[in-house]
Amino acid sequence: MSDFDYDLFVIGAGSGGVRASRVAASHGARVAVAEEHRVGGTCVIRGCVPKKLLVYGAHFAEDLKDARHFGWDVPDCHFDWQRLRDNVLSEVTRLEGLYGQTLDNHKVTVLKTRATVVGPQKVRLADGTELTAERILVATGGWPFVPEFPGSEHAITSNEVFHLDSLPKRVVIAGGGYIANEFAGIFNEFGSKVTIVNRGDAILRGYDEQIRDRLLQISMTKGIEFRFNAPFKSIEKQDDGSLMVHLENCDPIAADALLVATGRVPNTKGLGLEAAGVELDKDGAVKVDDNNQSSVPSIYAVGDVTNRIQLTPVAIREGQAFADSVFGGKPTTVDYANVPSAVFSHPPIGAVGMTEAEARNKLGAVRIYTSDFRAMKNVLAGRNERALYKMVVNAATDQVVGLHMIGPDAPEILQAAAVAVKAGLTKADFDATIALHPSMAEELVLLK
Ligand SMILES: Cc1cc2nc3c(=O)[nH]c(=O)nc-3n(C[C@H](O)[C@H](O)[C@H](O)COP(=O)(O)OP(=O)(O)OC[C@H]3O[C@@H](n4cnc5c(N)ncnc54)[C@H](O)[C@@H]3O)c2cc1C
């Protein structure tokens, strides 16, 4: 019997922490996990899951309009924010219960409290209780970054947006990343007047330029406004409770809500890591090696807190790799090449591998294939919205090194196509595959 209270103490029951806890326990470790908010973490409670449900809810606005072109008599419909919000929140609660059950089933001790690190093998709970563990796993995720400017306290973040009392008639969204663009699409479909405000001059950095341009074009056509190179000056609360948003280089904007989506920072503040000797990088992320081990050998970290790729499936893979390596005798490292990603905008984006610019820089000679088309459904619906698929091919080897898509169901199609990119298949392999007709995905094997 070990001298420690636990073999593993996990801080944070989010995507990475839950996976690591239950897998370590299934390998026979005595595991405790502390969670200061709700079991499930950002993805389940205030991220991917409630966001995607809102995206589905928002899409009905277009589907109901389009349905008329397909022969359905659709009366003018009214959208009820409170009903969708409450249904989404109760689904989140159901999932939270399932995550808790999984941990219970694996005999993981769940402590619903904040925990901090007080030594290489010691943690302290909020009530002062100190516990020891042979190993500690930091899986505390990230936290929305809100820039400081006068009145910034009137802003909300993705933490609060799922709980709004009413649908804002006018919403300003700060940021150009995927969360900003997803919520712009959601609120716009619900009928809010949306303005995206960006301190830089581009949206969705890291995505292929042509795809970003297409989303910008379509978003503007749908009525979303953009202000670029417009840092915040201040926010004033008006007597009627609304906000006046003052920006550099632009006229002020009146709004009922300001959603700040300007990135997420690693959640290490006040965690006691530096005092325990754990090295953090300049952004506060826990520095880890390929085995998720920090500069203190008994302390590990996975997920957003390490600021590698901030996505749920990556956090889950890291949690699994950690538990299998340390407690399962199966040394595993995560392969970060060709991680697919999506933007659940209207229409959505799916991408894997190198953008055209990255490939040109890295490989020199590349071949680019694109298909710019109007989905059959959009044609009949009279919806003048074009999809764009782009394939990036290494000219020397014929290998497909990147796929970038915007259009209906792009993330669903991209997930399957990502297998081919990950497997290193060539353009000739795509060409050899007979099209599945009629589909949008068939464009991928018909690129000329
Ligand atoms: C609005 C939004 C939409 C997103 N959409 C997507 C998407 O579509 N697809 C995707 O792949 N990713 C998405 N993400 C990102 C995804 O949610 C994260 O990458 C993922 O949750 C990271 O998992 P994690 O385990 O590192 O941390 P988290 O899931 O954030 O879990 C960390 C947990 O630690 C707890 N905690 C922190 N400090 C302490 C402490 N001291 N003591 C006890 N508990 C503590 C927190 O309460 C939290 O529950 C989205 C994020 C947001 C905000």
The pLDDT, as a whole number, for residue 389 is: 98
Q: Let me know if 437 is a catalytic residue.
A: yes
Give the residue-averaged pLDDT of 206-224.
98
Superfamily of domain 6-142+265-326 in the CATH hierarchy: FAD/NAD(P)-binding domain (3.50.50.60)
Give the residue-averaged pLDDT of 192-207.
96
Pocket test for ligand 1, best of 137, 140, 345 (most atoms within 8 A of CB): 140
Residue bearing the CA closest to ligand 1, atom 45: 12
Pocket test for ligand 1, best of 48, 138, 343 (most atoms within 8 A of CB): 48
In this model, does residue 2 exceed pLDDT 90? no
For the chain, give the mean pLDDT: 97
Residue bearing the CA closest to ligand 1, atom 3: 47
In this model, does residue 90 exceed pLDDT 70? yes
Domain residue ranges in the chain: 6-142+265-326, 152-262, 347-445
59, 106, 246, 437: the active-site residue? 437
Give the residue-averaged pLDDT of 378-384.
95
The pLDDT, as a whole number, for residue 152 is: 95
Give the residue-averaged pLDDT of 284-307.
98
Q: Is the CB of 177 under 6 A from ligand 1?
A: no
pLDDT band of 1, cuts 50, 70, 90: low
Q: Is the CB of 179 under 6 A from ligand 1?
A: yes
Count CB-CB contacts under 10 A for residue 271.
Answer: 24
In this model, does residue 401 exceed pLDDT 70? yes
Specify the CATH class of 152-262 in words. Answer: alpha beta
Residue bearing the CA closest to ligand 1, atom 6: 48
The pLDDT, as a whole number, for residue 168 is: 98
Q: Does domain 347-445 have CATH number 3.30.390.30?
A: yes
CA angle 224, 165, 94 (to 5 degrees): 100
| pLDDT tens-digit series, residues 60-89 | 999 999 999 999 999 989 999 999 999 999
pLDDT band of 410, cuts 50, 70, 90: very high
73 CA to middle of ligand 1, Å? 42
Residue 210: CB partners within 8 Å, gap ≥ 6?
A: 356, 370, 388, 390, 404
6-142+265-326 and 152-262: identical CATH topology: yes
SS3 per-residue string spanning the chain: CCCCCEEEEEECCCHHHHHHHHHHHHCCCCEEEECCCCCCHHHHHHCHHHHHHHHHHHHHHHHHHHHHHHCCCCCCCCCCHHHHHHHHHHHHHHHHHHHHHHHHHCCCEEECCCEEEEECCEEEECCCCEEEEEEEEECCCEEECCCCCCCHHHCECHHHHCCCCCCCCEEEEECCCHHHHHHHHHHHHHCCEEEEECCCCCCCCCCCHHHHHHHHHHHHHCCCEEECCCCEEEEEECCCCCEEEEECCCCCEEECEEEECCCEEECCCCCCCCCCCCCECCCCCECCCCCCECCCCCEEECHHHHCCCCCHHHHHHHHHHHHHHHHCCCCCCCCCCCCCEEECCCCCEEEEECCHHHHHHHHCCEEEEEEEEECHHHHHCCCCCEEEEEEEEECCCCEEEEEEEECCCHHHHHHHHHHHHHCCCEHHHHHHCCCCCCCCHHHHHCCC
